């Protein structure tokens, strides 16, 4: 059973993003490392920071591309757990991601709640001195909805928390209607979305 809220954190200046995932009690759940200088996204998810046990792998289906699809697999069995992909041109204005089950069916979408936050962040970040503090007071939020449209029931909610020298995201659960396998797949999909959002700025 996952103890929410989950906390995702990574250093802003790191060459290769490394996300640490802790639960509400501060217990480390996952450690995520991205392969450096790769033409295809290659994310490895470990049990903890020691990186002795690899649990999952997330890989793109093509070279660096806006429309790439990222497949999530179980490292031990090689079984496909699901996938995540940008939803076309809509992601340019408002971050929108489709989450797929192992059969390739869209089961959930994650959308940015207020895209104006990102627009304002991009504008203010170019202003001397003030731009240094945008990461503290301009923080987007995201909601994962059931079904292929954002009108579906919200199941998970992610907030970018105020921080200066690292990025912190908090994931909270909305209701109790997720199965354990479904919940695992959604959390892993969100981890990939965080990596992609980081590259978008």
For the whole model, what pTM was predicted? Answer: 0.83
- The CATH code of the domain that includes 147 is 2.40.160
Q: What's the number of domains the chain is made of? A: 1
Q: Is residue 130 part of a domain?
A: yes
In the prediction, which pLDDT does 125 show? 47
Read off the tokens for 130. Answer: 């003030």
In the prediction, which pLDDT does 1 show? 79
Calculate ∠ Cα 193-65-91, nearest 5°.
50
Confidence tier at 141 by pLDDT (50, 70, 90): confident
Q: Is residue 1 part of a domain?
A: no
Alpha-carbon distance of 94 to 85, in angstroms, equals 14
Asked if 168 and 8 count as a contact pair (C-beta separation under 8 A), the reply is yes
Structural domain of 92: 6-200
Residue/partner pairs of 173-181 with CB below 8 Å, 24 or more apart: 173/2, 173/4, 173/5, 174/143, 177/146, 177/153, 181/81
Cα of 50 vs its chain's centroid, Å:
22
Q: What three-state secondary structure class fits 174?
A: coil
User: Greater confidence, 167 or 68?
Assistant: 68
Confidence tier at 113 by pLDDT (50, 70, 90): confident
What is the tens place of the pLDDT at every residue in 62-89? 776 667 899 999 999 999 999 999 876 5
User: Greater confidence, 6 or 34?
Assistant: 6
Q: Is residue 100 part of a domain?
A: yes
User: Could you tell me what percent of the chain has a pLDDT over 70?
Assistant: 72
């Amino acid at each position: 059973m996952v103890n929410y809220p989950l906390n995702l954190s990574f250093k802003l200046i790191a060459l290769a993003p490394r996300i640490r995932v802790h639960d509400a009690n501060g217990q480390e759940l996952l450690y995520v490392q991205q392969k450096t200088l790769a033409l295809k996204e290659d994310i490895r998810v470990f049990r903890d920071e020691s990186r002795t046990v690899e649990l999952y792998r997330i890989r793109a289906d093509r070279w660096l591309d806006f429309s790439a699809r990222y497949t999530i697999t179980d490292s031990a069995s090689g079984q496909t757990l699901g996938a995540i992909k940008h939803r076309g041109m809509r992601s340019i204005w408002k971050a929108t991601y489709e989450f797929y089950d192992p059969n390739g069916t869209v089961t959930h979408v994650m959308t940015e709640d207020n895209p104006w936050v990102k627009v304002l962040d991009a504008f203010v970040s170019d202003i001397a001195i003030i731009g240094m503090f945008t990461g503290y007071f301009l923080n987007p939020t995201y909601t994962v909805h059931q079904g292929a449209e954002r009108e579906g029931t919200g199941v998970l909610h992610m907030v970018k928390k105020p921080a200066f020298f690292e990025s912190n995201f908090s994931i909270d659960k909305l209701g109790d209607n997720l199965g354990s396998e479904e919940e695992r797949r959604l959390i892993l999909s969100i981890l990939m979305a965080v990596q992609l959002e980081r590259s978008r700025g």
